[in-house]
């Protein structure tokens, strides 16, 4: 049976995941119905010329001249542009790879419209998990990040069942072998020197703190309806084993694949069909040694903090994610040291206890996000003890 050529819309087309998604679409011969980014940049225009989408959208209004957009390509601008792309009838499949809560409204719109949404923005599920879970009853939500895509594959697309344990693997980040006493002296360059993956700066910092895995625990809770005590994390240096599921009979299923984001992207773009064989089949004799280690909590306090925020529920995960965004930005700007990131996030989560009594909706999520980021900056700038 011939594979269907599902038209795709890509939000965050100029980012790392967006660019890889467009490359996979070309490889799979999938048409591009729309592309979107925050700004109308030269790169976005070049992508429009290459892929010839019917829509190009930017969430920030622009005064740039539009004469370079290809014929037949319409431009959407403004805060509602991404949501309009999500509702574009010609796009059957929506890939959401924009930063932060900017991806929430289009994700909800696409799901409510019954579309397949391939999600690469973990903050959308971390902050708005309950809203996303309700909207997913109308459409299909597919994780794109390697760990959750692996769990989705291991579980056969079904939710968690009693007796199962879901395992997420973590590389341990750039500082995994540093003496704990020396971590406070780690420079920006030290933290960004990831041993396995090539990612954006923010994700690389989160990998070093293990906050990325803490956010993924919250994400797994919502994606697979699993209780927090059934979700575990192990350090796996080689980054070939992306997830595992322990079964009630004592056996364990392990998903192994090369550390290549194009594989989970291809799976999401072709689901429920299998992606075509791309000539990279795993071979057991060729696999490197696969080792697993327990997470040292004293080295990675961010993980325990994330479990705590997830258990609190309501707007606590949104505060955690937003505060971490702001603290990481301060570190990357050399305003704080690496070991100040988690204490800042913890202080913000504590000081923002009043937000956990607020009704969970999109407007309040955005307000809590703004408050947490502003509070982190005030704490760091005001010289307060944290």
Each residue's pLDDT, cut to its tens digit, for the chain (386 residues) gives: 455 678 999 999 999 899 999 999 999 999 999 999 998 889 999 999 999 999 999 998 765 555 578 888 999 999 899 999 999 999 999 999 998 899 999 999 999 999 999 999 989 999 999 999 999 998 899 999 889 999 999 999 999 999 999 999 999 999 999 999 999 999 999 999 888 766 778 889 999 999 999 999 999 999 999 999 999 999 999 888 999 999 999 999 999 988 788 999 999 999 998 888 765 667 788 888 889 999 999 999 999 999 999 999 999 999 999 999 999 999 999 999 999 999 999 999 999 999 988 999 999 999 999 999 999 999 998 544 33
Report how far apart the first and last C-alpha atoms of the chain are (Å, whole number). Answer: 61
Question: What Å distances lie between residue 213 and 157, 178, 242, CA to CA?
Answer: 21, 19, 12
CB of 311 closer than 8 Å to CB of 167:
no
Between β-strands 140-143 and 116-119, what pairing exists: parallel, antiparallel or unpaired?
Answer: parallel
* Rounded distance between C-alpha atoms, residue 255 and residue 272, angstroms: 18
Q: Does domain 8-143 have CATH number 3.40.50.300?
A: no
Tell which CATH architecture fits domain 313-381. Answer: Orthogonal Bundle (1.10)
Domain range list for the chain: 8-143, 147-259+279-300, 313-381
- pLDDT for 5 equals 74
Q: In what side-by-side order are the strands of the sheet with 165-170?
A: 231-235, 165-170, 241-246, 252-256
Helices (H), 136-288: 146-154, 188-191, 201-209, 211-224, 262-270
CB of 300 closer than 8 Å to CB of 234:
no
**pTM for the model:** 0.91
As given in the structure block, the two tokens for residue 65 are 């001249």
Query: Which H or E run contains 168?
Result: strand 165-170
Residue 156: count other Cβ atoms within 10 Å of its Cβ: 6
- pLDDT for 239 equals 86
- pLDDT for 285 equals 84
CB of 55 closer than 8 Å to CB of 74:
yes
- pLDDT for 61 equals 75
Q: Are 8-143 and 313-381 equal in CATH topology?
A: no
207-210 contacts, C-beta under 8 A, 24 or more apart: 207/170, 207/171, 207/172, 207/173, 207/174, 208/173, 208/174, 208/175, 208/338, 209/173, 209/300, 209/302, 209/338, 209/341, 209/342, 210/170, 210/172, 210/173, 210/295, 210/300, 210/302, 210/303
* Rounded distance between C-alpha atoms, residue 128 and residue 347, angstroms: 22
CB of 234 closer than 8 Å to CB of 292:
yes
Query: Which H or E run contains 51?
Result: helix 42-51
- pLDDT for 139 equals 85
């Amino acid at each position: 049976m011939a594979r269907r050529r599902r038209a795709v819309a890509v939000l965050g087309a100029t980012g790392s995941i967006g660019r890889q998604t467009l490359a996979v679409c070309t490889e799979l011969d999938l048409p591009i119905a729309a592309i979107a980014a925050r700004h109308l940049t030269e790169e976005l225009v070049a992508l429009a010329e290459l892929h010839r989408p019917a829509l190009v959208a930017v969430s920030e209004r622009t005064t740039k001249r539009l004469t370079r957009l290809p014929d037949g390509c319409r431009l959407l601008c403004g805060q509602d542009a991404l949501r309009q792309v999500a509702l574009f009838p010609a796009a059957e499949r929506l890939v959401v790879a924009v930063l932060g809560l900017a991806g929430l409204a289009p994700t909800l719109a696409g799901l409510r419209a019954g579309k397949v949404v391939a999600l690469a923005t973990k903050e959308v599920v971390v902050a708005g998990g309950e809203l996303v879970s309700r909207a997913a009853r109308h459409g299909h939500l597919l994780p794109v990040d390697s760990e959750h895509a692996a769990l989705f594959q291991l579980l056969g697309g079904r939710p968690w069942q009693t007796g199962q344990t879901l395992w997420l693997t973590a590389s341990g980040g750039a500082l995994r072998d540093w003496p704990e006493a020396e971590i406070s002296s780690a420079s920006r360059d030290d933290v960004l020197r990831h041993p396995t993956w090539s990612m954006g700066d923010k994700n690389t910092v989160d990998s070093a703190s293990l906050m990325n895995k803490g956010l993924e625990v919250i994400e797994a809770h919502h994606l697979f309806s699993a209780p927090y005590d059934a979700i575990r994390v192990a350090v796996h240096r080689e980054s070939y084993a992306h997830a595992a599921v322990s079964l009630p009979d004592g056996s364990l299923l392990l998903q192994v694949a090369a550390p290549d984001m194009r594989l989970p992207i291809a799976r999401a773009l072709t689901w429920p069909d299998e992606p075509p064989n791309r000539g990279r089949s795993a071979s057991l004799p060729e696999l490197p040694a696969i080792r697993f280690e327990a997470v040292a909590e004293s080295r990675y306090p961010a993980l325990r903090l994330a479990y705590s925020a997830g258990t609190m529920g309501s707007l606590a995960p949104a505060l955690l994610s937003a505060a971490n965004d702001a603290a990481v930005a301060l570190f990357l700007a050399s305003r704080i040291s690496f070991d100040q990131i988690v204490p800042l996030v913890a202080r913000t989560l504590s000081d923002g206890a009043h937000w956990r009594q607020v009704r969970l909706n999109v407007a309040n999520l955005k307000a809590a996000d703004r408050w947490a980021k502003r509070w982190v900056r005030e704490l760091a700038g005001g010289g307060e003890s944290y």
